[in-house]
Structure 1
Amino acid sequence: MTHHNRRTFLKFTGTALGGLALGAGTAAGATGADERFLVDLREVSRAEVPDDVEIIHDLSEVDLLVARGDAAAVGGAPATTPDVTVYQANGGVAAEASGPKANNENSASHNHDGPATNTELQWDKRVQSVGDLTDKPGGGKFIHDVTKGAGTRVAVVDSGVYDGHPDLADVVNPELSANFTTDGMDFRPNGAGDHGTHVAGTIAATNSNDGPAGGVLGTAPETELLSLRVFSGVEGVTGDTLAALVYAANQGCDAANISLGYPAPYVDPEEYPELIAIQEAYRRVAEYARTQEMIIVNSAGNDGLDMDAEGILSLPTEVEGIFGVSATGPIGFGWGEKTDDNEEKWLTGDRLEEPTTDPAFYTNYGSAVDVSAGGGDADLDALDGGVEGAERDLVFSTVNVVEEDGSAVPGYGWKAGTSMAAPQVSGAVALVRSLRPDASAEEVEALIMETASDAEGGETYHGAGHLDLKRLVKAAE
C-alpha cells in the first residue's frame, strides 16, 4: 500500500486547481462597473456609497458591505477589495461511491459473514465510540449514552443540505436555513453538489433509514442544523460566506462549519494582495462570532502546505479566532492483506496498515491547526485500480444523488479531505454545549484541545492533539 503526492491526488479526483482564477467570480484582477466587491465601513461612510451601487449583503455588525457596481466610486482602494471566489476544493473530495443503496439488500443480519451495514463502514464514529455501530452489539458505554447534542444548533455553511435524506429529515431547520447566493433558489443543493449533505451527516445523521443496510450516525444526532448555502454550481464568493457566518452567529448557533478556502497557488499575499483584506474581513467576522459565543470551525486545506512557511497565507484557517482542523485517516480499514472477515476487528490489533490517527497525506499542517480529526486517507493505487474495499479508508456519510431526470434521491458515499475532518469537531462542539450550555466559546475550544490525544506527527500535524470524544465528554460532564 502506498501514499501519493498532492499532484497524483488531484489527478485522481479531477480537482483541477491550477485552472481556477482568483477573482470576483470571474478572472483575477477583473474590474468594471458590474463587479462584486467588499466595502470597509471603517474607511468610508455608508452615506458615501452611491445609490447605483447595489448592496448584496449588509454586514454592519462587522462594518462591511458586500456590493456590486463600480468600486472606484466608493472611496477607492483603501475602502474596497474584490469579492474573490472561494472554493470547496480546499475542503476537497478524494473519491466517492454513492447511490440510493450503499450495500446489498441481503446485508441486514450477516453476523460478520457478508457485506457490512452502513454504520459498520463508519470507522470515524466507531473509533470514537459514538455508538455501538456493529451488527453484533457488545455492550459498553458510548458517547450517546451521555449526550447526543440536544438543545444545540450548528450551521453548515456549504453547498446546501438535502433534507429529504432519511438520516437528515428531522435535523435541518427549514425556516432558519437560507441561501446566501444570488441564484434565487433555496437552501438545498440545487446543483451545487452533495458536499454539504456529506458534512451534515458527519455532524448530525440520525441513522433513521429503515432499509436493509440501515443508515449512518452523526456525532450529535439531536443537534439542529441550519443549511446556509454559499455555493451555486461549483464555486462561491467570499462575501456570501461572510454573510452566512454573521447570520449564523445572529441565530444563536453554537458552531458554524465551513469547509472552504483559497487553494494553492492563491496563498501568497505578495502575489495576491487581496488576501490581506480578506483576512481582515474574516477576522472581524470571527471576532463578532465570539461575542455571540459561536465557534467557527474550518478545514485546514488539502494542499499539503506548511502553513508556517514564508509566502503562505492559508485562509480562512490562519485567521485569528477560527478553529482549524487537519485530517487523519487509516489505511487498510476492512481491506488489504491484514483484513479480517469480522468487522468488529477492523479497527483492532495489527489489521490496519496505518492507524486512524495518522496524518492524511494531503492535509495542510502548521501552527494554525488547533486539533486533528478523522477526514480519511487513501491508497490511490488501490482506489484507481479498483481494489475492492479501498474506498473504506475515506469517510462514509450521507449524500444526495442526482437522477437522470434531475431529481434528487438519498444515498451514501465516501469522501476524504479536511472538509470531512472539520465537521467531526463541529459535532463535538454540540456535544459539549449540550452538557455545558453556558460555556463560552473560549471554554469550549479549550476543553476540546485539553482533552485531545497525542498522535504521531505531533503538534505540527495535530495542534493540541487528535480529537478524543471519550475524554471530551467525560471532562464536560
Structure 2
Amino acid sequence: MTDHSRRRFLKATGTALSGAALMSSPAVAGGSERTDTRFLIDLREISRSEVPDDVEIVHDISEIDVLAARGDPEVVPGSASTTLDMAVYQHDETPQSGPVKERNAKAQGSNGPAWDSGAPTRTELQWDKRAQRVGDLTENPGQERTVQDTATGEGSRIAVIDTGVYDGHPDLADVVNAELSANFTTDPYDFRPNGAGSHGTHVAGTVAGTNANGEGILGTAPDTEVLSLRVFSGMQGASGDVIAALVDAATKGCDAANLSLGYPYPYVYPEKYPFLYAVKELYQRAVDYARSEDMVVVNSAGNDSLDMDGEGVLSLPTEVEGVFGVSATGPIGYLWDDKQESREDKALKKLEDSTASPAFYTNYGDAVDVSAAGGDADLEASAEGIPGWYYDLVLSAVVEYDDEGNPVPGYGWKAGTSMAAPQVTGAVALVRSLRPDASVEEVEDLIRETARDAPGGEEYHGAGHLDLRRLVKRAR
C-alpha cells in the first residue's frame, strides 16, 4: 500500500476515532453544573489572596504565575483568571481503533522474541538504531565508528514526562533517578507506571536503554540520567500536571524534557474550542521558563495526518514557540522475509519505503523542526496477517503485569510520533555530554544543521531527518 493510501485511510477514519477516544476533560457536559473539576488559575489576572479557601490547589507553579486547581471555577473572581484544565493524550498506537497497537516481544531462552528458534535478536529488530549506527548492534561490526564511540550521554539528564518509567526493567535499572522522579497526578502512587501503561517506559528505553546483559534493547544515550515525571494515571492526563512537570524538570537541571503527548483531533481548532488559546499561553510561559533554565523541550508532532499549517489549525504543544517539534518516519518491509541471510545491515537495503520516509499518520508543517524514527505500518499487510509487518514499528522496553498485578519487564513494538520524539531527546543528551555549556539555541541549531534531506521534503521533515553520526561529529 502506498503512503498516499495509508494517509487517506487515517483521514477517512479520523472522525470515528476522535469520537470514540477523545474528550475535552473538564468541560461541562450537556449544560449540567459541576463543582469539582480541574482548572487553571492565572495569577497575572488575580492575586493569590483572591483565590477562595475552598479551591484545592493541586500544583503551585509560581515560577510562571499559574495554579492548577480543583473545585468550582465559578467561585474564582474574574472571567479571564481561569481556564479549563484540558485532558492530554499520548501520541502513540495509531490508528487507535486499528491494527497498530502495542505488540509484545516475549523472551524465549536467552535470545529475544518467541516466534521461532531462529528469530532475530532484539537489537537486530531495532532498525531505528541500526539506521543511525548508534552502537555495536551487529555480530560483524567492521571498523566503522558508531555514534556511541563518540558520545553516550554521560553527564546529561533528561525528563520523561509521561506515564511513568518502570525502573525495574533490566535495560533501565541504573538509569532512572528515583530521588528526583515524581508523580504529578492526583493518584496516591509513585513515579512508576502503576497501571498507567508502558508508554513512558517505551519512550525511556528509546532514549536510554542500556542493553545491560546483551539481550535487550539499546537506547541512543545509555549513560544519560532519566527523571520519570508521571502525568498519566490512565490514558488521559491533565494539562496542569504536564505544565507543572515541565517547570519541575527545568528547575531540576534537565537538559531536555520529552513530551510525547498532546491534543489530537478535534482539539486543534481554537475557533471551536477557544480555551485552546489560554492553554497555549500557559504552555508558552512554561516553555519560556524551561529555555531560561537551558532545557530543550522536545514534543511529538501528533498522529492525525494533520497539516499544522492549515487554516484555523492550532496543534498543541507543538506550535508553542520554543518547542522542538518532531514528526515520525518509518520503513515498510523491514525483515518481513525473516531470513537469516537478510539480517544485519542488509535488511536496511531491502525496503519498500526507507526508514526516513514519512509515517502515514504523522502531522506535518512548519512546526516540525526535524523528523525521526517513529515507526510505520502497511495496514493492508497488517489486516492480511503478513508475518513481520509489525517489525516496521519501534521496538523498546515495556512493562507487563502478571496475574497478581506484579510488574514484569518486557519488550514491545509501538508506533507514533511519541516514538520519534525520544530519538531527538536522546540526541540532546549526546550533544550536552559533548558540550555541557551549549545553550538551548546552540543544541537545537546543531540538530537542525546536521539533519539530512529525506523523502517528502521540508513539509514533513522541517530542517531534515535526524542524523546522529553527523551530529556528534559536529558537536565533539
Query: If the TM-score is normalised by the length of the shorter chain, which range does it land in?
Result: over 0.9
Task: Give the corresponding residue for 2:141.
Answer: 137
Q: 1:141 to 1:264 in 2, by over 3 A?
A: same
1:472 alignment partner, SS class: helix
Q: Distance in 2 between matches of 1:67 and 1:308?
A: 33
1:216 alignment partner, SS class: coil
Contact in 1 for aligned 2:91/2:418 (Cα 8 Å): no
Q: 1:167 to 1:336 in 2, by over 3 A?
A: same
Given residue 386 of structure 1, which amino acid in structure 2 is its aligned partner? G
Contact in 2 for aligned 1:340/1:346 (Cα 8 Å): no
Q: 1:405 to 1:261 in 2, by over 3 A?
A: same
Task: Give the corresponding residue for 2:225.
Answer: 224
Task: Give the corresponding residue for 1:244.
Answer: 245
Contact in 2 for aligned 1:317/1:324 (Cα 8 Å): yes
Higher mean C-alpha deviation, range 309-318 or range 64-73: 64-73
Q: 1:461 to 1:182 in 2, by over 3 A?
A: same
Q: 1:206 to 1:107 in 2, by over 3 A?
A: closer
Structure 1 vs Structure 2 CA RMSD: 2.2
Aligned match for 2:36, one of 34, 37, 41: 34
What does 1:249-398 align with in structure 2 at a 5 Å threshold?
Answer: 249-336=250-337, 341-349=341-349, 351-398=350-397
Q: 1:279 to 1:2 in 2, by over 3 A?
A: same
Q: Distance in 2 between matches of 1:67 and 1:236?
A: 14
Contact in 2 for aligned 1:363/1:417 (Cα 8 Å): yes
What does 1:435-446 align with in structure 2 at a 5 Å threshold?
Answer: 435-446=434-445
Q: How many corresponding residue pairs? A: 465
Given residue 318 of structure 1, which amino acid in structure 2 is its aligned partner? E
After TM superposition, the score normalised by the length of structure 1 is 0.93
Q: 1:106 to 1:407 in 2, by over 3 A?
A: closer
Given residue 69 of structure 1, which amino acid in structure 2 is its aligned partner? G
Q: In the TM superposition, what is the alpha-carbon distance from 1:145 to its structure 2 partner?
A: 0.7
Q: In the TM superposition, what is the alpha-carbon distance from 1:32 to its structure 2 partner?
A: 2.7
Q: Distance in 2 between matches of 1:475 and 1:308?
A: 32
1:231 alignment partner, SS class: coil
- Write out per-residue CA displacement over residues 308-366 of structure 1, whole angstroms, 9 at most, x where no aligned residue: 001211100000011100000100111159x77331244444x1101001000100000
1:243 alignment partner, SS class: helix
- Write out per-residue CA displacement over residues 253-304 of structure 1, whole angstroms, 9 at most, x where no aligned residue: 0000011111101111011001000000110000000110001100000000
Q: Distance in 1 between matches of 2:290 and 2:166?
A: 26
Contact in 1 for aligned 2:260/2:418 (Cα 8 Å): yes
Q: Distance in 1 between matches of 2:31 and 2:371?
A: 35
Task: Give the corresponding residue for 1:473.
Answer: 472
Given residue 224 of structure 2, which amino acid in structure 1 is its aligned partner? T
Q: In the TM superposition, what is the alpha-carbon distance from 1:90 to its structure 2 partner?
A: 6.2
Task: Give the corresponding residue for 2:131.
Answer: 127
Q: Distance in 1 between matches of 2:236 and 2:333?
A: 33
- Write out per-residue CA displacement over residues 436-477 of structure 1, whole angstroms, 9 at most, x where no aligned residue: 000011110011001110111111000011000011001101
Aligned match for 1:96, one of 102, 106, 114: 102
Unaligned runs of 5+ in 1: none
Q: 1:322 to 1:453 in 2, by over 3 A?
A: same
Say whether 1:78 aligns with 2:80.
yes
Q: Distance in 1 between matches of 2:400 and 2:463?
A: 37
1:120 alignment partner, SS class: helix
Say whether 1:156 aligns with 2:160.
yes
1:414 alignment partner, SS class: strand
Q: 1:7 to 1:462 in 2, by over 3 A?
A: closer
Q: Distance in 1 between matches of 2:244 and 2:149?
A: 37
Q: 1:341 to 1:295 in 2, by over 3 A?
A: same
2:271 alignment partner, SS class: coil
Q: Distance in 1 between matches of 2:453 and 2:233?
A: 39
* Identity between Structure 1 and Structure 2 (%): 62
2:344 alignment partner, SS class: helix
Q: 1:346 to 1:28 in 2, by over 3 A?
A: farther
2:267 alignment partner, SS class: coil
Given residue 157 of structure 2, which amino acid in structure 1 is its aligned partner? R
Task: Give the corresponding residue for 1:425.
Answer: 424
Unaligned runs of 5+ in 2: none
